[in-house]
Amino acid sequence: MSHPIRIAMWSGPRNISTAMMRAWENRPDTVVHDEPFYAHYLQVTGLDHPGREEIIAAYETDWRQVVAQITRAPLPPGRTIYYQKHMTHHMLPHISLEWLGELRNCFLIREPREVITSYIKVRPDPTLDDIGFAQQWRLFQQVRAITGHIPPVIDARDVLTDPRRVLSQLCEALGAPFREEMLAWPAGPRESDGLWARYWYAAVEASTGFAPYRPKPDQVPPRLQPVLDAAEEIYRELRRYRIRAE
């Protein structure tokens, strides 16, 4: 019996990460895991996120146990792919990363201006760590060092521009066959969604596929220009490796 394909998709906040999770979950061969390190992140940081206490009470807070789950747990019968939606900012500095080599890692990036202008609607003064770019670069470098290979990178804009092409190439890079079911899914919530879905997933729950890309005119406030500059430098580096939609 072949080993399951364990995919770790690393994204920052305010991206299309939940829609991407929907695409994979719509495959009959795949089981998904929504932000497995979130409870640990909330417990350690003390941040006041919506549903904080409920999330901490409901999910594993020991990062070592989370690692054991995502790298070792068996899959349900008939499922051969274990897709994990991860937030890069959840990977706090004390969490060791040697286990990354046991997963097929990939990275979802988004243009920093669009990330920041979306994020500040919830929290007005984000740091570079809050939007996950620094951690994403660290994880990318770590995966590259462990595996000796450049992991797949996809840009949210490219996915929305041509989802079939980008997802087909992503699947090929991960060693998983592409399936048409990834391009459309039924609207509504999922049992696999984290308890935080009620606060954040309204748009995704209404979706039935990837919405076409539309440029956003919002500008980053001058006070956040240093955050934007630092994030754009990392974004440019990661974007060099992206799977292209053209």
Q: What is the pLDDT of residues 139-181, one digit of tens each?
A: 999 999 999 999 999 999 999 999 999 999 999 999 999 999 9
State the maximum Cα–Cα separation within the chain, in Å, rounded to a whole number. Answer: 56
Give the per-residue pLDDT at 189: 96
Name which of 90, 181, 105 is nearest 148 in CA terms. Answer: 105
CATH number for the domain formed by residue range(s) 5-239:
3.40.50
Give the per-residue pLDDT at 149: 95
Give me 45's structure tokens: 């940081």
Distance CA 54, CA 138 (A): 30
pLDDT one-digit tens code per residue, 109-129 = 999 999 999 999 888 999 999
The model's pTM: 0.96
Give the per-residue pLDDT at 245: 67
Which regions of the chain are under pLDDT 70? 1-2, 245-246
Give the per-residue pLDDT at 96: 96
